[in-house]
Amino acid sequence: MRQVLLLAVVVVAAMAVAACGGPEPATAPIAVPTVPVVQVPTVVPDDGAIQSHLATKVLEVGTQRVAFLLNTQKALVKAPQVSISVAPTDESGPATEITADYNAWPYGVRGSYVAPVYFPSPGDYRLRVMPVGGEVSGEAVIDVSVASDSPIPSIGEAAPSSETKTLDDTAEITDLTTAYEPDSELYRISVAEAVESGKPSVLVFATPAFCTSPTCGPQVDTVSELRVEHPDAANYIHVELYDNPAEIQGDLSLAQLVPAADEWGFTQIPGWTNESWVFVLDGDGIVRQRFEGFATLMELEAALAEVGGL
C-alpha cells in the first residue's frame, strides 16, 4: 500500500510540472558545476606613497603659476622645499628642473607648493616632484594639460570693466558678500571704477560661505590683510560670486551668479563651480598677475610690488 501511495505522489508531481510548462523530470541526476575559488591578493596601501592634488587647473602657454598640495595617507607633506622635473608627457622635449617652497595657509591647517613653470607649447606635461628636507621621501607625479589660450584674462591682457555692486548700491553689506566678518573697505568701488582709476588694483572673486574648497574665506581675509598693511598702494575689491547672497540662506539652488562670473570667463572653465581667483592689475588696468586657488600674503605683496604699488 505504501508503494502505491509513493507512486501516486510521483505521478502527481510530474503532472504538476508538465502543467506549468516545466521540463520532463530527469531520469539521471543533474551535475552541478563547481566554481573554482579565486584568491584575490589583499592590497596593502603604501603609507609612504606621496599623493598630489593640483590646485591650478587653468594653464596656458608661457610662464604659469602652478600650485599643488602633497600628502601621504598619514599626513600632509610639509617639506620646506620640493624639486620639480617638468617635461612633455610624450618625452618629445627636454626636462626642466625647478624648485618650489612650501607656503602655509592661514590657520595652519594646510599648505601648498607654488612654482612658476614655463610651458613652451600646448599639450600634456608631467611634473615629477620630490620633497627636499623634511621626513618624507619619494616622488609624486602630476600630469597637467596646457592650452594655447585661456577663457580667463591672461597676464598682459586688459581686465574686463565689470560693473560690480558696491555699498552705494545697497544699505546692507550682507547683500554684497557672504563673508562672516566682512571688511567694508573691499566694497567701496566697482571693478569698472578700479580699472579706470589709474591706480593698481587687487581683485578677489570668491564666495566665502559657499566655496567648494576651504580657501575662499581665507583668501578674502588675506586680501583684507594686504589692504590693512598697504592701504594706499592699490584699490582692493572683493566680488562675491553670487548676486543674491542674502537670499541663499544655505540653499545654493537659489543662488544666481554675478554677471562678472561670465565676463571674467569663470563659467567657461570645465567643472568650475565657485573656486576663488585673485587678479593684480597695474595702473592701466592690465592683468599683471593672476592666482587660481589660494595666494599667500607674500605672493600678493610680491605681485603688488611688480606693478609699482609697493
Q: Which residues contact 229 (CB under 8 A, 6 or more apart)?
A: 297, 301
| Residue 72 main-chain phi, psi, to 5 deg | -105, 180
Q: Is 134 left (phi over 0), alpha (psi -120 to 50) or beta?
A: left
Q: Averaged over 26-43, what is the pLDDT? A: 40
What secondary structure letter does DSSP report for 255? Answer: -
Closest C-alpha among 235, 225, 229 to residue 283: 235
Q: Do domains 51-146 and 167-306 have the same CATH topology?
A: no
The answer to whether residue 228 scores a pLDDT higher than 90 is yes
* Contact (CB, 8 A) for 51 and 71: yes
CATH 3.40.50.1000 fits 167-306, yes or no: no
CATH 3.40.50.300 fits 51-146, yes or no: no
What secondary structure letter does DSSP report for 10? Answer: H
CA atoms of 108 and 296, how far apart (whole Å):
12
pLDDT computed for residue 48 by the predictor: 61
pLDDT computed for residue 283 by the predictor: 96
pLDDT computed for residue 1 by the predictor: 42
pLDDT computed for residue 274 by the predictor: 81
Whole-prediction pTM value? 0.80
What cell numbers appear for 276 in the block?
A: 576663488
CA atoms of 246 and 302, how far apart (whole Å):
35
In this structure, of 200-209, 210-219, 236-245, the range with the lowest mean pLDDT score is: 210-219
Dump strand ranges (E) for 30-180. Answer: 51-54, 62-71, 81-88, 96-104, 111-119, 123-132, 140-146
The per-residue pLDDT for range 39-68, each reduced to its tens digit, is 434 333 455 689 999 999 899 999 999 999
Q: What angle is formed at CA 163 by the lines to CA 161 and CA 165, rounded to 5 degrees?
A: 140
CA atoms of 100 and 129, how far apart (whole Å):
10
User: What are the residue ranges spanned by the domains of the chain?
Assistant: 51-146, 167-306
Residue with cell 578700479: 194
pLDDT computed for residue 109 by the predictor: 67
* Per-residue CA distances from 188 to 61, 162, 264, 287 (Å): 35, 14, 20, 21
Closest C-alpha among 307, 105, 302, 278 to residue 197: 307
The per-residue pLDDT for range 153-197, each reduced to its tens digit, is 999 999 999 999 999 998 889 999 999 899 999 999 999 999 999
